Amino acid sequence: MDQHTSGHSHRRGLAAVLPEHDRHGQHPGHGPRAVFIGNPNVGKSSMFNAILGARARVMNAPGTTVLLESGSLAIDGTEWQLIDTPGTYSLLPLSPDEEVAAHAVMGTGGQPAPDVVVTVLDATNISRSLYFLAMVLELGHPTVVALTMDDLARRQDAGIDAVELSDALDGVPVVEVNGRTGQGSAALLDAIALARGGTPLPHELKRADLQVVDAAAWVEEGADRRFDWAARILSTLNMQARQRVTASDRIDRVLLHPVLGIVVFLAVMYAMFQATTSLAGPAQDWIDGTVRDWCTVGIDTVFSWFGAGALDGWFHSLAVSGVLDGVITIATFIPPMGIMFILLSLLEDSGYLARAAFVMDRAMRLMGLDGRAFLPIIIGFGCNLPALAATRTLPDSRQRVLVGMLVPFSSCTARLSVYIVLAYAFFREQAGLVVFLMYVCSVVLILLVGILLRAVKFTDLRSEPFAMSLPPYQVPRLVTLCTSVLKRLWDFVKGASGIIISMVIVMWLLQAIPATAAAGSFAHVDDVQDSVYGRVADGVAPVFTPAGFDDWHASAALMTGFVAKEVVVASMAQSYSIDTGDEDEQQQGEGSLGAAMRASFDESSGGHGKAAAIAFLVFTLAYTPCLATVAELRRQFSMRIVLQSVGLGLLVGYLLAVIAFQALRWVL
């Protein structure tokens, strides 16, 4: 068999199940099409990628469309188009993702009919898989059954023989495939090539004529027939005799317990939160300190080759304060992203992620979401960037968009430094309470904004019955996990680097251009207030008059915070020309920086500095997330969603800041 992967591509929405066109409007290939379909968590996407030679999982990108994985493969000299669809429990869809899967396999909705359907069955949950298979078989397309997780089923003394199952299905070809290792892939491809000539329809099933009856009526009317057929197959395989209490069942008694399950889940979330902050912190500091110093020395060395004057030129400033800052900004996000990708893969591959979704389902129903949405929101309190990556675990594209727009309202640890400095500067005795209340405010804000978005933008998002399979527990494969994590990291770097570096250079340019003749020369502005950046901050400051911080120092810090929230305090110190040295956040708030901020806020607020400080904190919590988060929003969603998310954050932050100041100035 000739097996070769080529033309591997990602395509969005329903276009992903349509033939591609080249620039002249012709199809690049007229080969047969094999559509892969199955329930969620059956190992379908892992198997699909193993066949194509790609180890990364297929992820459905959030947005108004659904991302499918497609690829071309030569089988016995014929170029096949392989299409992987989102997991679905029925051909009667409840979400946009399931609708795409249904159209792709049914050949409806204007989509071409598949030449072969590969239906993936989970050997550890064969009863549910058989009912789904019955629906696919009744479509009448040539069908091949890929039997996954049979190795796990055999450990439970419930293994299924592929030949025996094929006989029970009246000759429908069945191939055992290990999605994690790719074992059995070659036999599956051989079966796909042979099945193109047609496969039998089990005699108890009835072929559907979707030209006469609609899909909903067909699914509902034939339900009893399919259940009876599935029961007969189970009886033939004598599955009842193999049923017993498994290790997974015993573990689930704890993890799915209404009380213990929540305790375990919160412990897991705490561990993930600590991992993305405590473990990633030293690596980020090393990159931002040591690596930056190494790179700066290297750049200085190269420029010194062109004479001493080159080190003072604007091009050197651009290289160090522009390009290098952008690269370092990207690099500092790699540790938390890598840790989060590893943890997500471990939770997903081990089978725990499905249990966590079940435990938290009831709480998330308030926003029309299911339990899986809780994970990225919690991760967002560590860092918004990996939280957006965690939205990929959600099965529905509309849910992913909603959660993606809520993640920036999770108060990440980068904002914590701002909270601490201002809390100690204005509320020294109650600083801890102020910081705690900011996190409470974040939680309340997520709930209120979620309910608002559901009522205004996501009106079609309904709370459907939560049905999902609980896959058996298994040990993730190290090679697959590492390969997947590295690919995800590379996708992030490739997708976000252009935006981040470009915006950092723009910020450098604004600070490098003198606003007046006496301010200095290009890239040598003596006072940042005399640069274009400072003048822009001056121009923006009056907008915050109703919020009490009509001050260019504050607006300049907020502008810099768009790049990274970590530098808001440093920007404040720079604008006041204060060297904070090695002072921690508490010392900065209680020291000269805090005194300068109190003076500025008291002046801009008319003597209500504490109220203005609270307004500033609230605005910092809600307004535009950092540039890396914006870049990830753009990479996963679309520019339209990015603009809506950024606009929503600015609007909510501004309104809350104004309300907070106007209300608290009478009290504080």
Q: Helical H runs in 457-563?
A: 478-512, 532-540, 552-561
* Residue 508 reports pLDDT greater than 70: yes
409 in the Ramachandran plot: left (φ > 0), alpha (ψ -120 to 50) or beta? Answer: alpha
pLDDT of res. 475: 74
| Mean pLDDT of the 413-440 span | 89
Q: Which pLDDT band, with edges at 50, 70 and 90, does 523 fall under?
A: confident
Confirm or deny that 606 is annotated as ligand binding. Answer: no
d(CA 560, CA 204): 68
Q: Which amino acid belongs to residue 145?
A: V
Q: Which amino acid belongs to residue 178?
A: N
**In what helix (H) or strand (E) does residue 75 lie, and over which residues does it extend?**
strand 67-75
pLDDT of res. 187: 92
pLDDT of res. 27: 37
Confirm or deny that 43 is annotated as ligand binding. Answer: yes
Q: State whether residue 214 is helix, strand or coil.
A: coil
* Residue 662 reports pLDDT greater than 90: yes
Q: For 261-290, how does the pLDDT look when each residue is reduced to its tens digit (9 = 90+)?
A: 888 887 887 777 677 667 777 888 899 889
| Mean pLDDT of the 510-524 span | 85
d(CA 482, CA 601): 50
Confirm or deny that 115 is annotated as ligand binding. Answer: no
Q: For 239-253, how does the pLDDT look when each residue is reduced to its tens digit (9 = 90+)?
A: 654 555 566 777 888
pLDDT of res. 92: 80
Confirm or deny that 313 is annotated as ligand binding. Answer: no
Q: Helical H runs in 213-371?
A: 215-221, 223-237, 247-255, 260-274, 280-286, 292-304, 314-317, 325-350, 352-359, 361-364
> In the chain, where does the domain assigned CATH 3.40.50.300 lie?
33-241
Confirm or deny that 40 is annotated as ligand binding. Answer: yes
SS3 per residue for 535-581? HHHHHHHHHHHHHCCCCHHHHHHHHHHCCCHHHHHHHHHHHCCCCCC
d(CA 576, CA 593): 8
| Least confident segment among 159-168, 209-218, 638-647, 656-665 | 209-218
Q: Which pLDDT band, with edges at 50, 70 and 90, does 69 fall under?
A: confident
Q: For 592-639, how does the pLDDT look when each residue is reduced to its tens digit (9 = 90+)?
A: 999 999 999 999 999 999 999 999 999 999 998 888 899 889 888 888
Q: Which pLDDT band, with edges at 50, 70 and 90, does 149 fall under?
A: confident
pLDDT of res. 393: 67
pLDDT of res. 56: 41
| Mean pLDDT of the 111-121 span | 90
Please give the structure tokens belonging to residue 77: 């000299």
Which CATH fold would you assign to the domain 33-241? Rossmann fold (3.40.50)
Q: Which pLDDT band, with edges at 50, 70 and 90, does 11 fall under?
A: very low
Q: For 383-413, how does the pLDDT look when each residue is reduced to its tens digit (9 = 90+)?
A: 888 888 778 767 677 888 999 999 999 988 7
DSSP of 592-650: HHHHHHHHHHHHHTTS-HHHHHHHHHHHHHHS---HHHHHHHHHHS-HHHHHHHHHHHH
d(CA 93, CA 104): 12
pLDDT of res. 661: 97
pLDDT of res. 122: 87
Closest CA to 559 of 579, 538, 580: 538
DSSP type of residue 452: H
Confirm or deny that 41 is annotated as ligand binding. Answer: yes
- Between 440 and 499, name the one with better pLDDT: 440
pLDDT of res. 8: 35
Residue burial 608-628, b: 16+ Cβ < 10 Å; e: rest: bbbbbbbbbbbbbbbbbbbbb
* Residue 218 reports pLDDT greater than 60: yes
| Mean pLDDT of the 575-598 span | 86
| Mean pLDDT of the 537-550 span | 94
d(CA 149, CA 87): 16
Confirm or deny that 86 is annotated as ligand binding. Answer: yes
* Residue 16 reports pLDDT greater than 60: no
Q: Which pLDDT band, with edges at 50, 70 and 90, does 110 fall under?
A: low
Confirm or deny that 72 is annotated as ligand binding. Answer: no
Among residues of the chain, what percentage have pLDDT more than 90? 28
Q: Which pLDDT band, with edges at 50, 70 and 90, does 192 fall under?
A: very high
* Residue 65 reports pLDDT greater than 90: no
CB 141 within 8 A of CB 116: yes
Q: Which pLDDT band, with edges at 50, 70 and 90, does 188 fall under?
A: very high
Confirm or deny that 384 is annotated as ligand binding. Answer: no
pLDDT of res. 213: 67
Q: Which amino acid belongs to residue 66?
A: V
- Write phi, then psi, for 324 (nearest 5 degrees): -60, -40
pLDDT of res. 467: 55
DSSP type of residue 112: P
Task: Supply the mean pLDDT for the chain.
Answer: 81
pLDDT of res. 277: 63
| Mean pLDDT of the 307-326 span | 87
Confirm or deny that 561 is annotated as ligand binding. Answer: no
Instruction: Select, from the ranges 19-23, 513-517, 538-542, the one with the highest average predicted confidence (pLDDT).
Output: 538-542
* Residue 469 reports pLDDT greater than 80: no
pLDDT of res. 28: 40
Q: Which pLDDT band, with edges at 50, 70 and 90, does 87 fall under?
A: confident
pLDDT of res. 100: 80
Q: Which pLDDT band, with edges at 50, 70 and 90, does 470 fall under?
A: low
| Mean pLDDT of the 299-310 span | 89
Confirm or deny that 44 is annotated as ligand binding. Answer: yes
Please give the structure tokens belonging to residue 520: 């200095």
| Least confident segment among 39-48, 169-178, 631-640 | 39-48
Angle at the Cα of 420 from the Cα atoms of 419 and 424, rounded to 5 degrees: 115
pLDDT of res. 580: 77
| Mean pLDDT of the 179-183 span | 76
pLDDT of res. 60: 40
**In what helix (H) or strand (E) does residue 101 lie, and over which residues does it extend?**
helix 96-106
- Write phi, then psi, for 121 (nearest 5 degrees): -110, 140
Q: Could you give the C-alpha distances from 228 to 40, 167, 175, 235, in angstroms and in order? A: 23, 17, 24, 11
Q: For 332-389, how does the pLDDT look when each residue is reduced to its tens digit (9 = 90+)?
A: 878 887 887 788 778 877 778 777 777 777 667 766 676 777 778 877 887 888 888 7
- With a CB cutoff of 8 Å and minimum separation 6, the contacts of 170 are 200, 201, 202, 203
Confirm or deny that 53 is annotated as ligand binding. Answer: yes
